[in-house]
Structures are given as structure tokens and as C-alpha cells.
Structure 1
Amino acid sequence: MKKLIILFLIIINLFGYKKIIYPSYISKLTFNKKYLIAGLENGEIIVKNFKTLKDIDKITLPKIHDFMDELIPMPIYSLDISPENNNLLILAQGGKCI
């Protein structure tokens, strides 16, 4: 039994897992065979290569005014990737019109 546990731990270490660290909390996450895309609570969208997990692009959404007229990061409601041409669709809250 002890050898089986050691073998299991060795296999886990060989295949391993990669830890992904983002500068803020993730509010939305989507992926396909090429990209891993995370929408963060600070209004940033980070695009990573799905296989290597290296950053490809970073999109910073503009800050908006809330109902108290304070500047806040734009909330991201949804992210989606087009399967045909890998276009990114971002659904986020807009600013107030004046």
C-alpha cells in the first residue's frame, strides 16, 4: 500500500499542474482549444495561450461612474469566444450617458 501511494505521488508530480495567478479575482472565465480568457473584477481581461498558459494579450476596460458618481471598474457580465474565427465577445456594463 505504501508503494502504491508513493507511485501515485510520483505520477502526480510528473504530470503536475500549473498554477495560474491573476492580479485580481476572476469574475468570468472562458476557454477553447487555443485560448484561456479571464475577466477580472478590476475591469481587465487577460488572454492566455491554453497550452502554455503564457499571456498573449491584456485588455483594460475603462472605469465607469456608479449611481453614487464614484469611479469603479467596469463589471464584466459575460465572455464568449467565436468557434469559427476566435473573436472575443465581451458583455459589460456601460457608463451613463450625459
Structure 2
Amino acid sequence: MNVLFICSRNQWRSPTAEQVFRRYPSLTVRSAGTRRNAKKTVSHDLLHWADVICVMEQQHKNRLIAEYRRIIERKPLHVLDIPDDYRYMDPELIALLEAVVPERLGINDH
């Protein structure tokens, strides 16, 4: 399953998710940000590649729908409700991701 994790600047939350879930054998993961100044910006290619999209906040989902509705309308899109309160690889952020994401994706193959 190809999973794309999205936050605003692709600096802390989505790259952490990419690192954490890279270890899951059934997943291929990438990350991106919705802002123009993101380290890696969301693109048509990334969204086409993804089987499932996980965004950190509702605002990210709203932005994707506004800009890429046709590409994402038939894809599962999960809002993880993870605020921008964490640094890259913060242990609390990792614990939160591990508690929420496998359940949303219906996996447990760590």
C-alpha cells in the first residue's frame, strides 16, 4: 500500500510519519507539505502514486480538496488530528502516530 503523509511544511510531522512507517513491510511511504515553502511540496504525481493519503489536520484536507479534488476524490483520506506541536522524531509524536495510523490503515504488521 502506498501511503502519503501530508502536513504543512513537510518539516516535522509528515517526515516523522514517513520514517516511522517505512519499517512496516506492507507499506511504501512518502511525505509532502501543502505550503509552497515545504521541503517537498504535494504534487499531482505524488497524489496519483498514493493509495491512501493521511493528513495531519483538517486544513490540509481542505487544501487538497480545493486544489486536487479530481485526483483524490476516490482515495481514502484520513485526518489524523495531530497538531503542529512536535519536532522531527519527537517521541510523543511517534507514539501518537503509532497509536492512530495502523488502525486507520487497517494494518498491524510492524
Normalised by the length of structure 1, the TM-score is 0.25
Normalised by the length of structure 2, the TM-score is 0.23
Which structure has the larger Rg over C-alpha atoms?
A: 1
Larger helix percent: 2
State the structure with bigger RCO (CA 8 A, min sep 6), 1 or 2.
2
Larger strand percent: 1
